[in-house]
Amino acid sequence: MTDGTDLVTIDPDETPATTGADVEPVGAHALVPADEHTHPGPRQYVLIAIVLVILTAVEVATSYLEGHVNSNILIVALATMAAIKFYLVAAWYMHMKQDNRFFRRAFTGGIILACFVYGIVLFMFASTVLQS
C-alpha cells in the first residue's frame, strides 16, 4: 500500500487485526482510508486566519514606508511576507500538509519552476528595458 491513497473494503464484523490493515469498521462494506490523517480543527483555521490578517496589516504598513526606507529592503520584506502567507494558505487551507507526498512534491516543484521562470523574465526585463 502507498501512503494514504489506498482504500480497503471491510465487513462490519471484521476487525483490523483480521484484515491486516489499520482501519476501523464504519458500515457494511465501507471504503475507509488505510492511513487517515488528522485534519486541523476550527480553532486552528481561525488562528491561521488571524496570523494572515496580521501579516496583511504589516504588509500594508510596510508599503507606506516607501521613500523612507531603501526600496530593495522593502521589496525583500514584502516578498518574504507574501511567501509566508502563500505557504500558510497552501499548507492549511488547501490541505497540502495532510496531502500525499507526491502531490506536495508536484505542487512545490511547480512553484519553484514558476519562481525560476519569473526570476529569469524579471532579470531580462531589468537588464534590457530599464537600462535603455
What is the b/e burial string over 28-61, where b = at least 16 CB atoms within 10 angstroms of the residue's CB? eeeebeeeeeeeeeeeeeeebeeebeeeeeebee
Q: Do the Cβ atoms of 39 and 95 come closer than 8 Å?
A: yes
Is the domain of 95 the same as that of 46? yes
Is the domain of 61 the same as that of 30? no
Q: What is the pLDDT of residues 17-64, one digit of tens each?
A: 545 555 555 554 555 454 555 777 889 899 999 999 999 999 999 999
User: What is the overall mean pLDDT for the chain?
Assistant: 78
The total domain count for the chain is: 3
For 38, the 3-state DSSP assignment is coil
Is the domain of 93 the same as that of 104? no
pLDDT bin (cut points 50, 70, 90) of residue 94 is confident
| Least confident among 47-51, 93-97, 106-110, 119-123 | 93-97
In this predicted structure, what is the pLDDT of residue 34? 47
Global pTM?
A: 0.59
Is the predicted pLDDT of residue 81 greater than 70, yes or no? yes
Q: What is the extent of the structural domain holding 117?
A: 100-132
